[in-house]
Amino acid sequence: MSFIRGYYRLSLSALILSSFAVLIIIGSFLPVTIKKVPLSLRLAQVMVKSILWILNVRVICPEKEKLQGFDGFFFPNHLSYVEVLALYAVMPTRFLAKAEIREWPAVGIIAAAIGCVFVQRGDKQSRQEARQALTKVETFPPITIFPEGKRGPGDALLPFRYGAFEIVTQGCFAFLPIAATFSNLEVAIWHRKENLLKAAWRLASQPEKIVVNLAPLEPHHPTPEDDPVALAEKVHGELTAVLYPTE
């Protein structure tokens, strides 16, 4: 039964992904907005909500008004591809993404069409170019950067990279830390060095509902006088207190 369930869910998700890719590309060329959000991003949101429903993933965000309409940057923790989808289901956003994603079938095309910024992580010049691009980009719809820089282990936050905080202090951009938790992390997590298909199969083949809880913290409004390193450590502590509270 788990094989049939997983095959059905992944096949249907792939069909929706490929079908919407065409619509999203077309939408990216049209000067149409829905509640100030470009049509291509709204179409992607419909796609994401459909895929989450098929995968039996439900999103809870008690303070979703903090995300919707936010002008600035989202800084969530990063454990899986699932919180990426969950975040997008609440508020369309663009991402700072690794350059390899641009080559992924359908996903890379969609990411480019909705305005994601790509960076070659191992290339210092590429990181600098991405950082410069983000200091000049329009911040609505919001831009998501994972300050850990990569997926965490699930039992603690990785140290934050300071580049994200240099961007927001230099540009005086507001940012919103977001804590993402899962009802069953062992099913939803995408382990480091794990094949994406294996992670997706684990989620798609399980019978239980997975709930993603998105808890936005209070927004920050940095200035050029703020120290990016100190700010990163402060936000790291704020998110840690929510995600991994001490007894």
Token duo for residue 79: 């454990």
CA distance 239 to 206: 29
Task: Say which CATH number the domain at 78 has.
Answer: 3.40.1130
User: In this predicted structure, what is the pLDDT of residue 159?
Assistant: 96
Domain extent for 175 = 2-243
- Number of structural domains, the chain? 1
CA distance 242 to 181: 10
Using alpha carbons, list the distances in angstroms from residue 82 to 19, 38, 108, 142, 199: 20, 23, 17, 19, 10
User: In this predicted structure, what is the pLDDT of residue 63?
Assistant: 94
CA distance 142 to 95: 9
CA distance 200 to 49: 16
Query: Residue 228 phi/psi, 5° resolution?
Result: -60, -35
Whole-prediction pTM: 0.93
Average pLDDT, 10 consecutive residues per value, the chain (247 residues) = 92 96 96 95 98 97 94 97 97 89 89 87 67 79 94 94 92 96 96 92 96 97 96 97 86
SS3 track for the chain: CHHHHHHHHHHHHHHHHHHHHHHHHHHHCCCCEECCEEHHHHHHHHHHHHHHHHCCEEEECCCHHHCCCCCCEEEECCCCCHHHHHHHHHCCCEEEEEHHHHHCCCHHHHHHHCCCEEECCCCHHHHHHHHHHHHHCCCCCCEECCCCCCCCCCCCCCCCCCHHHHHHHHHCCCEEEEEEEECCHHHHCCCCCCCHHHHHHHHHHCCCCEEEEEEECCCECCCCCCCHHHHHHHHHHHHHHHHCCCC
